[in-house]
Amino acid sequence: MEGSRKPLAKVEGRRKMRVSGVTVAWRGTPNLDDWVAYIANGTRSKKLILADHASERKVKSLLARLQTLSKKDIEKLAKG
């Protein structure tokens, strides 16, 4: 007989990059490799994904690296 389990907690966030002004959003579940980071201030039809099915550590280090890049370089990193 199984009891009901609590659903896993989802984490979401947004950060505006200093140099480029691009807003990057991310979401995922702690301790799972299901994190995704994407450019949030693009159009709905053209959502540029920076990282997909990545670990939390990989996404957080990517966000730190993006702080110093220009908008052109960030969009070059993204896979649309």
Q: Please enumerate in sequence order all residues whose Cβ is within 8 A of that of 42, keeping only pairs 6 or more positions apart, or say none.
A: 48
User: What are the start-end ranges of the E strands in 1-80?
Assistant: 11-16, 23-28, 35-39, 49-54
CA–CA dist 7, 67 (Å, integer): 33
Residue-level pLDDT, tens digit, the chain, 80 residues: 566 887 888 999 999 999 999 999 999 999 899 999 999 986 666 779 999 999 999 999 999 999 999 999 998 998 75
At 70 the pLDDT is 93
